[in-house]
Amino acid sequence: MLTKLQFDVFYLLHKRGYLSQRELAELLDVSLGTVNKILKQLKESGLLDEKCCLTEKGENVLAEYKVDNAIILAAGMSTRFVPISYEFPKGLTVVKGEVLIERQIRQLQEAGVEEIIVVVGHMLEKFLYLKEKFNVKLVVNKEYKVKNTHSSVYAAKEYLKNTYICCSDNYYPENLFNSHEYHSLYCAQFLKGLSRTERGLIFDKNGLITDTAKPCKDMWTMQGHAYLNREFNSVFTDILDEYYGKPDTKDMYWEGIYAENLDKLHMYIVKCTDEDILEFDSVENLREFDPDYIEHNDIKVIQNICKVLNAEPKEIKDIKPIQAGLTNTSFAFTLRGGRYVYRNPGKNTIGYIDRKREKFALETAKKLGLDNTYLYEDENEGWKISYFVNITEPFDFTNKSHMEKLCSHLKALHNAGVQYGSVFDYFEEADKLIERLKILDYNAADKIIPLRDRITAFNESNKKDNWPTVLCHNDIYEPNLLISADNLYVIDWEYAGDSDPGYDISKLFTSNNAPVEDIDNYLAFYFGRLPTKSEKLHILRCATINYYYWFVWSIFQDISGNNCSDWKLLWYEKMNKYYNETIRLSEEE
């Protein structure tokens, strides 16, 4: 077993050929006497000949430190990297004329790492070309949507030998990879200030990591790649097996598992400068490094914006993701001093969202002064551009002023007498989702049928009431109600259509999950008086049918890959709450 300094001398001679003792001392930042001593030891051990060339024995010893392969993690969705992440994985971003993951693969191969494994998941088909172009292996992480990076390492665990673990989106201005490594390591950069997301490292005088801290402050933090040798991996693979599959570990990075087992897993810090390893957390970070990144990457979203706003790509600045909705994703951007929002439609909305109907509703809402944020929607593809609104306070269903504004808007919509010509009937829309569910998961669809039978009577009773069918919003809840100064904007008209206004009215108390005894007071905001018993019964039935639809919708989303478990439970409970209250009131009547 070589000492660390012996290895460093040995590796330099292997990599560069002949070097004078003075050159070795300068490269390793040690004294000339130390170099002479190490060379003497290596010669006496038969690892170097008199000309300081590696002997056959020396080559065999060095082979134990050979890097066998590299695993590049590329399965994630990179949701903060909008709008590029809408169209291709972050690792395929072009930076200064080179694709990020391609640059990293070339650097690994140039360093002598021949076997490269890329773990894919999100948009995996876009990585397929790498097999032919670079002769890499592709491994699929089937659980990338529900588990963090430990699942990607687990997917490729059969390849864990003397292995680099890399991230596909890191950019190395200079090649930091080697053909041989002495021990397991993790690259680190010094981070000033407090960080709640990065993991800080505590290490001894030899660089052995003895502890980690998260959050951390003014510490060396894990950045860039790691190297795990065979000794490390012989223990780590067993620990991965132990952790994998446990519900409370699904959100763990592989580094978190390492941090909980430091006593068994020995790793050393490698200190790097801020210029050694670059990671672009957002497109604005990328812009700072590569001002022409938009020109290098063919981004359809950017082309859409330029077409609508008659702009050049370089004029689009300050792109920031907005907290995603349940199905769509959005980001804000600045253009010529104006601030806008781009809505990217969710793939699963195809088939149950009528974009032509949505566009009609948006244009109607703008004419009626209900949503002045609307600018443009593509009725074929579903993307939308709106004016950005500075929210001054969150909408509150218990706020009298807010409720008066909302009810004024709803009555203006309902009393306008506008119809699109296409009905959005919650009960029928739920049936459409059930039919789609039968294809995806027949058992799940079959279990909904008893609920449907129970709700059917409510639907038939409401139709007998002969309430008018008018254009309605159909999705009234806090995120779609923006308060800016004295203005209320009712946004997001995806579910709009010709409907029973009772569905919109029911949201006045259901969105806030108001106590049953307060329902009359909430309805009074709309009617200007207390509701009659028949009006209240009609609206309660609407509330029940409404949450029946959303419950079915959440099951469909779950099976389609969007986790809606929390919403599923909430909507199921609300459906039962208003069902029971309707029955009680009916019996009292």
CATH number at residue 417: 3.90.1200.10
**Domain containing residue 530:** 394-588
Same structural domain, 28 and 149: no
pLDDT range class, residue 348, cuts 50, 70, 90: low
Q: Which of 275-284, 431-440, 451-460 has the lowest mean pLDDT?
A: 431-440
Better-predicted residue by pLDDT, 505 or 293: 505
How far does the chain reach from its first CA to its final CA, in angstroms?
89
Which of 138, 173, 164 has its CA nearest to residue 233? 164
Q: Is residue 131 domain-shared with residue 102, that is, in the same domain?
A: yes
Q: What is the DSSP string of 323-366?
A: PP-SS-EEEEEEETTEEEEEEEPPGGGTTT--HHHHHHHHHHHH
Q: List, for residues 112-169, the tens digit of each pLDDT value.
A: 999 999 999 999 999 999 999 999 999 999 999 888 999 999 999 999 999 999 999 9
DSSP designation for 530 = P
Mean pLDDT of all residues in 565-585? 89
Give residues with Cβ within 8 angstroms of 138, minimum separation 6: 117, 118, 120, 124, 127, 128, 130, 131
Same domain, 137 and 187: yes
- Say if residue 8 is in the same domain as residue 130: no
Question: What is the Rg, in whole angstroms, of the alpha carbon atoms belonging to the chain?
Answer: 31
* Domain closes at, from 264, 279, 294: 279
Distance from C-alpha of 116 to C-alpha of 72, rounded to nearest angstrom: 7
Same domain, 561 and 414: yes
Q: What are the distances in angstroms from CA 171 to CA 90, 122, 224, 281, 512? A: 12, 20, 9, 12, 47
Q: Is residue 110 in some structural domain?
A: yes
| In a shared domain, residues 406 and 273 | no
pLDDT at res. 26: 87
- Report the C-alpha gap between 197 and 251 in whole angstroms: 13
Q: pTM score, two decimals?
A: 0.81
The pLDDT score that the predictor gives to residue 172 is 97
Q: Which of 216, 251, 279 is the last residue of a domain?
A: 279
Q: Provide the domain count of the chain.
A: 3
| Pair 403, 502 in one domain | yes
CATH number of the domain encompassing residue 41: 1.10.10.10
Whether 436 and 582 share a structural domain: yes
Q: What are phi and psi of 146, to 5 degrees?
A: -115, -10
Residue 98 in domain: yes
Region 482-486: mean pLDDT is 94
264 and 413 share one domain:
no
Summarize pLDDT for 35-89 with one digit per residue, the tens.
889 889 988 889 988 888 888 998 899 899 999 999 999 999 888 888 888 889 9
Residue 580 sits in the same domain as residue 502: yes
Provide the pLDDT confidence category of residue 202 given band limits of 50, 70 and 90: very high
Residue 385 lies in a domain: no
For 280-434, list the strands marked E by DSSP. Answer: 316-322, 329-335, 338-344, 374-377, 384-387, 393-394
Cis preceding-peptide flag for 173 (omega within 30 of 0): no
Q: Which of 45, 63, 81 is the last residue of a domain?
A: 63
Question: CB neighbours (10 Å) of residue 320?
Answer: 13
**Residue of higher predicted confidence among 564 and 515:** 515
In-domain check, residue 352: no
Answer yes or no: do 528 and 497 share one domain: yes
CA pair distance 526, 579, nearest whole angstrom: 22
**Do 403 and 455 belong together in one domain?**
yes
